[in-house]
Amino acid sequence: MIVTKPVVAIVGRPNVGKSTIFNRIVGERVAIVEDLPGVTRDRLYSKGEWLNHEFYVIDTGGIELGDEPLLVQMRQQAEIAIDEANVIIFMVNGREGITAADQEVANMLFRSKKPVVLAVNKVDNPDMRELLYEFYSLGAGEPYGISGSHGLGIGDLLDEVVRHFPEENDDDYADDTIKMALIGRPNVGKSSLVNALLGEERVIVSQIPGTTRDAIDTSFTRDGQHYVVIDTAGMRKRGKVYEATEKYSVLRSLKAIERSDVVLVVLDGEEGIIEQDKKIAGYAHEAGRAIVIVVNKWDAVKKDDKTMQTFVEDIRSEFQFLSYAPICFLSAKTKQRLHLLLPEVRKVSESHHLRVPTHVLNDMIMDAVAMNPTPTDKGKRLKINYVTQVAVQPPTFVFFVNEPELMHFSYRRFLENRLRATFEFEGTPIHIIARKKND
């Protein structure tokens, strides 16, 4: 079952503490955890968790809208958040009282009909709770006194937020269906690729970035295999505000990644690789999805006998964290090399679901350790007692060892490479967890 996580947006005028509360909610998840270049975090989005509920959090304070006047920017930021969110945290400053800007945001939220939880920030001690009464007049329900700087009241606030989450729903597709999400920056040819795969004009194609306005699921069958292709959208509304906030489409990519088995990271063969490509691909990697890198518009590239190899080398250099992902060069427009794509999708999907028998797995690890003995640190040697696979999608292995801290990054990478080479884990990340023997 694939469940779509709810989205919580933090909205309010500038300098009420939105980013501080954002950091409080997401905790350490904002920090970069991948020790490889190219995996970056956009501080605008992250995941939060409360009472066994996982959700996305949007910090609208991170939206930059150019030279617009402050009040206009604030209104535009709130409009985007209202459009995307399931629940909205409306933040105000308890020490400053209600301002005209607060009232403006409150009116917008009221018209949205979305669930709103009112957070009154900078209520740093119980003696200040009398400040809350004024905020009832905003018509946003009960005000929750919080302190971003001290972390007070966040739990009560989140209790109310999760109470408004929609009921969980899952995609009604057969178990053997491969769900593919196409992600990439605007105008790399995602919609054209969908049409090429389907063999018909099922998705509007345009040269204007951001034409696709919502995630579109389309089912088809090829060679007996059922597929669902999810064409990730730009924004729901047209207009300058959405064009000016291209990175907001990242949230749509996150939702599509979450619902997929295989992610096609689509690059523009004419333009080459830019930083946004790596950022988008990083989300798919972190989500643990199977990945195929697709270089589109290959028909338009001037080529010699070294062009493809040079492009492969550039991808491997820029996307070091996707060293396991196969690369497919094609043209959605002319359908050149298109026939190579779906076999790769099937192959990486099979790798993503592959489960290795425990006895075979332990024999392989014993051979690997004999080839490259475990590392030592301060006279202590890492000892691997036992290995078991605990999950698929992605394949996840638990190594029971004497001292988990002795499992250095370089040796972990060696073990991952051996697993890949032995069992042909192509196109899927592999998770390795080191645990103390007695845990």
Please state the residue numbers annotated as binding site.
Answer: 12-19, 59-63, 121-124, 184-191, 231-235, 296-299
CA atoms within 13 A on the CB side of 379: 0
Query: What's the burial of 47, exposed, middle or buried (CB within 10 Å: 0-12/13-18/19+)?
Result: middle
The first and second tokens of residue 219, run together, are 């089912």
Q: How far apart are CA 251 and CA 193, in angstroms?
A: 21
Q: Give every CB contact of residue 86 below 8 A, 6+ residues apart in sequence.
A: 6, 7, 8, 55, 114, 115, 164, 165, 166
> Which residues belong to the annotated binding site for GTP?
12-19, 59-63, 121-124, 184-191, 231-235, 296-299
Of the candidates 384, 379, 377, the one whose C-alpha atom is nearest the C-alpha of residue 415 is 384
Peptide bond preceding 209: is omega within 30 degrees of 0, i.e. cis?
no
3-state secondary structure of 176: coil
Interacting residues of 224 by C-beta distance below 8 A, sequence separation 6+: none
How far from chain centre, in Å, is Cα 439?
Answer: 31
Count of residues making up the chain: 439
Instruction: Count the Cβ atoms, other than its own, within 10 Å of residue 155.
Output: 11
Residues 82, 111: Cα–Cα separation, whole Å: 10
190 close to 184: Cβ distance less than 8 angstroms: yes
- Which secondary structure element, helix H or strand E, spans residue 229, and what is its range? strand 225-231
Task: Evaluate whether 365 touches 432 at the Cβ level (below 8 Å).
Answer: no
SS3 140: coil
202 closest CA partner among 213, 192, 189, 188: 192
Lateral strand order in the sheet of 384-391: 384-391, 396-401, 431-436
Provide the CB-side half-sphere exposure for 152 (13 A, CA): 15
Q: For 190, what's the count of Cα atoms within 13 Å in the CB-facing half-sphere?
A: 29
Calpha distance 180→207 (Å, rounded): 23
